[in-house]
Structure 1
Amino acid sequence: MRLVIARCSVDYAGRLSAHLPLATRLLMVKGDGSLLIHSDGGSYKPLNWMSPPCTLEVGVPDDDAREAGVDAVWTVTHKKTADRLTVSIHEVLHDSEHELGVDPGLQKDGVESHLQKLLAEQIERLGDGYRLVRREYMTAIGPVDILATDADGASVAVELKRRGDIDGVEQLTRYLELMNRDPLLAPVQGVFAAQEIKPQARTLAEDRGIRCVVLDYDDMRGVDSGVPTLF
């Protein structure tokens, strides 16, 4: 990654036109070829940027630009749309390059895979007599998070989300349609489980005969949530 702090002006031409007047800014050139232009405010959002695939060319300013104090011109062109970002550099205050290596990605606590593992180990949270058949039960359109049986031995398909919305209900509905065609599984009930379920998703699920279960992730891990209780 290359980090340049420079006094510059910026012009964007393409589907729209935009201009940033002369000011001191951070220019971030990433390894994937993207260019992001930041000010000292606005949190994480750049003032302007060009996403890959794009090319960056450093050119010499013409006579008029040089007389206006421009030392170099960066031209970033998108390979597919031909949109163009032109950065006129007046003064470079800092210029450094850093090798960051391969990023392992964001690791979130409480993601669906963790919930799936915990619920598989604590399947009784769905009700007395529930038994785990397997995790990641494969269907023709993808894996159901958990296949279980209830106290009567009937099949139960469980779809897990951190935040349950309508898309999750639709996903489980498609799984149920396929699984109920299998005479070895049918009839298959559905359980939509999440740390939080949106009202619209709950309404849709219950209308389709799918049971909703809200999971307390801290309680499943045996961690005190910090919320005072009476007992």
Structure 2
Amino acid sequence: MRLVVARCSVDYAGRLSAHLPLATRVLMLKGDGSILIHSDGGSYKPLNWMSPPCTLSQVELDDDQTAAGVQQVWQVTHAKTADTLVVSIFEILHDSSHELGVDPGLVKDGVEAHLQKLLAEQIEHLGDGHRLVRREYMTAIGPVDILARDASGGAVAVEIKRRGDIDGVEQLTRYLELMNRDPHLAPVQGVFAAQEIKPQARTLAEDRGIRCLVLDYDAMKGVDSGRPTLF
């Protein structure tokens, strides 16, 4: 990635025309060919940009540009649409390049897979005497997140969501219907577990005999959230 801080003006021509008058800005040239033009405000959103695939070329200055004090002109052209972004640079204040390598992508914390892993490791959140049978117990319509046994040996099917809504309750209901046809499992108790359960989902779950469990993700990770854990 190349980062340039420069006094520049910018002109965009394509499906619409736009002009940024002369000011000091950050020009971000990325390895995929894209360019983003940032000011010192506006949070993450650039003032203007050109998405890949595109190419950058340096244009030869004419007499008028030289007389106006322009030092360089960059023209960025989109490969598919022929839209152009022309950056007229009057002064470069900073110019550096950095090799960032391959980015692993965004890793979300607190997703359902993390909750499933933590609950499997801390199966006692289901109640005293519970033990884990397995994660991702396969049924004919997909895997239920956790299969456990309670203190008396009864089967417990747990469906985990970050935010529990009616669709999640319906999903667990379908799993329970299939699992209760298996004489080795029936009767199967259902537990709907989530960090937050919507009132309508709780009402539906309880009407169908499904127990609701609110998970405190921070507490399960060993981080004090300051919030009580509800069951």
**TM-score, with length taken from structure 2:** 0.74
Q: Which residue of 1 is the match for residue 5 of structure 2?
A: 5
d(CA) in 2 for partners of 1:153 and 1:107?
36
d(CA) in 2 for partners of 1:61 and 1:158?
65
- Which secondary structure state, in structure 1, belongs to the residue aligned with residue 74 of structure 2? strand
- Which secondary structure state, in structure 2, belongs to the residue aligned with residue 40 of structure 1? coil
**CA distance 1:51–1:126, shift in 2 (3 Å):** farther
Cα RMSD, aligned residues only: 3.4
54-63 vs 29-38, greater mean Cα deviation: 54-63
Q: Unmatched 5+ residue regions in structure 1?
A: none
Q: Which residue of 2 is the match for residue 69 of structure 1?
A: 69
Residue 171 of structure 1 deviates from its aligned partner by 5.7
**CA distance 1:148–1:73, shift in 2 (3 Å):** farther
Q: Which residue of 2 is the match for residue 203 of structure 1?
A: 200
- Which secondary structure state, in structure 2, belongs to the residue aligned with residue 114 of structure 1? helix
1:1-231 matches, cutoff 5 A: 1-107=1-107, 109-138=109-138, 143-149=143-149, 153-161=154-162, 164=163, 166=165, 170=167, 173-174=170-171, 177=174, 180-181=177-178, 183-184=181-182, 191-197=191-197, 199=198, 202-204=199-201, 206-207=203-204, 209=208, 211-225=211-225
d(CA) in 2 for partners of 1:118 and 1:157?
13
d(CA) in 1 for partners of 2:220 and 2:128?
16
Aligned partner of 2:125: which letter? R
| Percent pairwise identity | 70
d(CA) in 2 for partners of 1:39 and 1:193?
45
Query: How many residue pairs get matched?
Result: 221
Higher-Rg structure is 2
Q: Unmatched 5+ residue regions in structure 2?
A: none
Residue 102 of structure 1 deviates from its aligned partner by 2.6
**TM-score, with length taken from structure 1:** 0.74
Deviations 1:68-112 (A, max 9, x none): 333322222333444432212222222111112233445555444
**CA distance 1:23–1:132, shift in 2 (3 Å):** same
Contact 2:159 2:168 in 1 (8 A): no
d(CA) in 2 for partners of 1:77 and 1:27?
16
Contact 1:54 1:76 in 2 (8 A): yes
Deviations 1:37-64 (A, max 9, x none): 1112233332222232322222223444
d(CA) in 1 for partners of 2:169 and 2:215?
17
d(CA) in 1 for partners of 2:139 and 2:34?
39
14-23 vs 99-108, greater mean Cα deviation: 99-108
Residue 144 of structure 1 deviates from its aligned partner by 4.1
